[in-house]
Structure 1
Amino acid sequence: MIKGIGLDIIEISRIKKADEHDKFRLRILSDRELEEYNKLSNIRKIEFLAGRFAAKEAYAKANGTGIREGCEFHQIEILNDELGKPILYFNRQLVNGFVSVTHSKDYAAAQVLLMD
């Protein structure tokens, strides 16, 4: 049964501006996501960060909580399996749900479907 669905879209230029200082990415990404981020080229880093931001916002919307104490950015993780499929974790626990992340030249978007 579907528990919730969330969708978010973000302008990549807004993320690029916010990421001029390390504080933003350190607030958004988990330690495991930061490891993946650091392996990427500069252009891919911004896409990755924008996609993760959108996915985390979408998760919070699907969960019905929004980003707040108890549901913070660093608690939500999107890691990829061996085929590249994004997998959702909350507090390092696998989430029963699905996430899809996409990028274009100007936007990143994500959709999350949570299951009971």
Structure 2
Amino acid sequence: MIKNVGVDLIEVERIAKVVDRGDGFARKVLTDREFAQYQDLTRKRKIEYLGGRFAVKEAFSKAWGTGIGKAVAFEDVETLRNDLGAPVTRSRIFKGRIFSSIAHDDHEIVAIVMLEEPALWRRAIGKMSNLLSWRKNDHSS
């Protein structure tokens, strides 16, 4: 079952100014593994990457219901690329499934995050297993 959804929008120009000032903001916002991916990028991709990760963290915190601060810190949420380049988001404070998407153009970067409660999908799988085992036992009689 869906816990909540969060969305964040950020201006590319705002992130471009931050990137041009050096790595301070990136080191504050990104996890070590995110920063390792960030370092190898061109300026344009750094802007998109940093803005996207910042927006995902903000969207996650909104879905969490608190915003960035005491309950959710930047290092609590990590978004890395899979083999196809798609974002894969994980969190050390949320054990359910996290679905994230990042989009950008020349002016804005947007991220959406959907949190799915872990207990409910596990319970559904358990119910399905019980149903299937009941059917198996029913046919063997």
TM-score by length of 2: 0.76
Tell me whether 1:48 sits opposite 2:49 in the alignment: yes
Amino acid at match of 2:32: D
Q: Which residue of 2 aligns with 1:32?
A: 33
Q: Is the 8 A contact 1:89 1:95 kept in 2?
A: no
TM-score by length of 1: 0.91
CA–CA separation in structure 2 for the residues paired with 1:94 and 1:31: 20
Structure 1 residue runs without a partner (length 5+): none
Q: 1:102 to 1:95 in 2, by over 3 A?
A: farther
CA–CA separation in structure 1 for the residues paired with 2:94 and 2:86: 17
Structure number with higher relative contact order (C-alpha < 8 Å, ≥ 6 residues apart) = 1
User: What pairs up with 1:2-13 in 2 under 5 angstroms?
Assistant: 2-13=2-13
Structure 1 residue 93: Cα displacement: 7.5
Q: 1:115 to 1:93 in 2, by over 3 A?
A: closer
CA–CA separation in structure 1 for the residues paired with 2:93 and 2:48: 23
Structure 2 residue runs without a partner (length 5+): 118-141
Q: 1:93 to 1:6 in 2, by over 3 A?
A: closer
Q: Is the 8 A contact 2:6 2:59 kept in 1?
A: yes
Structure 1 residue 94: Cα displacement: 6.5
Query: Which 10-residue stretch deviates more, 81-90 or 59-68?
Result: 81-90
Larger fraction in strand: 1
CA–CA separation in structure 2 for the residues paired with 1:94 and 1:79: 17
Structure 1 residue 22: Cα displacement: 2.2
User: Across the two proteins, how many residue pairs are aligned to each other?
Assistant: 116
Cα offsets for 1:85-116 (capped at 9, x unmatched): 21111139865120000110011000001001
CA–CA separation in structure 2 for the residues paired with 1:85 and 1:59: 17
CA–CA separation in structure 2 for the residues paired with 1:4 and 1:57: 13
